[in-house]
Amino acid sequence: MSICPKNKCSKSRRDQRRANWKMTAPTLVKCSKCGALMVPHRVCKACGSYNKREIISQEA
């Protein structure tokens, strides 16, 4: 047996279901150490710190 819908789904119902598929801008916060914008709960790409501690050492 193959997959077969019981009833026809109208175009408006189908489009209402797909209406919530949208992109959202990522949330950005200031780094507590250097002040650069970063994604929360991630290591800062500018200074390599997380929660005011240096995680990744930055080579000069």
Is 12 a domain residue?
Answer: no
Instruction: Give the model's pLDDT for residue 60.
Output: 58
Q: Which residues, at least 6 apart from 30, have a Cβ–Cβ distance to it below 8 Å?
A: 36, 37, 38
Q: Is-contact 58 49, C-beta < 8 A?
A: no
Is 8 a domain residue?
Answer: no
Domain holding 60, by residue range, is 27-60
Task: Give per-residue pLDDT as tens, 4-51.
Answer: 888 999 999 999 999 998 899 999 999 999 999 999 999 999 999 999
Is 50 a domain residue?
Answer: yes
Q: At 52, is the pLDDT very low, low, confident or very high (cuts 50, 70, 90)?
A: confident
Enter the pTM of the model: 0.57
Instruction: Give the model's pLDDT for residue 26.
Output: 92
Instruction: Give the model's pLDDT for residue 5.
Output: 82
Whether 1 shows a pLDDT value over 70: the answer reads: no
State how many domains the chain has: 1
